[in-house]
Amino acid sequence: MSTVAEPTTSPPTGAALLLGCGAVAGVLFPVVSFTQAFTRTGFDLRRHALSALTLGDLGWLQTANFALTGLLACAFALGVRRAARPGVAGAAAPLIGPILIGAYGVAMVGGGIFTPDPALGWPAGAPAGLPERLSTGSILHTIFGATAFLSLIVAGLVFARWFASRGWVAYSVISSLATFVLTVPPWGEDSASLRFAAGAVLISAWLAALSVRLGKRLVEGVAP
């Protein structure tokens, strides 16, 4: 297994702070999203995707949530790259892992910049059904959203080979596979918003847990 690099200072403040950004990102997005989902008048999580919260008078809150989560994830990716060095068994994680997490971060920022089209009665005054033709912004939002999910799904599988603990290997693999099942197969549209919300919670929790574990291992100077 690869090992976390020995700290050059005591404590390794810079790397530790960057690693901590992952925990903040993993908690921030679902907490802010669900707080809005249950408080914004007219929003129904059974019908409306969390990304639709970027629309309406308070849409800037979810846009900021996407952007800040993405920037924190990029900082976390840099922390992983700085704090880890490749070994024999898990060489892919320190090399590919930060790229995948960084891709997730960039995709989240993009998902905040480009928003979905109003639909299903959200926000107020939107058509009752789905739009006949998607706007360019909505298409780009979908692409960025898919990239964000897939990046962390693959990251979970990549990091699984890096962990010394079988429990963490299982947790990473299960989180990735469960998120894949929830978000990738062609399920019916009736359950889409709830499935994607559940997938977001699962993969965000994994990101936060990864951040805490790597930060702790960095300070201890032991393998993940």
| Whole-number pLDDT of residue 184 | 82
The answer, yes or no, to whether residue 2 has pLDDT greater than 60, is no
Question: How far is residue 129 from each of residues 43, 44, 110, 118, 126, measured CA to CA in Å?
Answer: 15, 14, 25, 9, 9
User: For 184-203, how does the pLDDT look when each residue is reduced to its tens digit (9 = 90+)?
Assistant: 866 656 678 999 999 999 99
Q: Does 8 or 107 have the greater pLDDT score?
A: 107
Question: How far is residue 113 from each of residues 41, 134, 142, measured CA to CA in Å?
Answer: 23, 16, 12
Q: What kind and span of H or E run contains 85?
A: strand 84-85
User: For 38-74, how does the pLDDT look when each residue is reduced to its tens digit (9 = 90+)?
Assistant: 999 999 999 999 999 999 999 999 999 999 999 999 9
The region of weakest confidence among 3-17, 20-34, 74-88 is 3-17
Helix, strand or coil for residue 87?
coil
Number of H helices, E strands in the chain: 6, 2
Q: What kind and span of H or E run contains 148?
A: helix 136-160
List CB contacts of 96: < 8 A, sequence separation 6 or more.
158
Question: How far is residue 84 from each of residues 2, 21, 109, 123, 128, measured CA to CA in Å?
Answer: 8, 16, 25, 45, 50
| Whole-number pLDDT of residue 98 | 93
User: For 69-120, how does the pLDDT look when each residue is reduced to its tens digit (9 = 90+)?
Assistant: 999 999 999 998 887 655 544 566 778 899 999 999 999 999 999 999 999 9
User: For 127-180, how does the pLDDT look when each residue is reduced to its tens digit (9 = 90+)?
Assistant: 988 888 999 999 999 999 999 999 999 999 998 887 778 898 999 999 999 999
Q: Does 9 or 98 have the greater pLDDT score?
A: 98
Q: Does 14 or 102 have the greater pLDDT score?
A: 102
| Whole-number pLDDT of residue 89 | 46
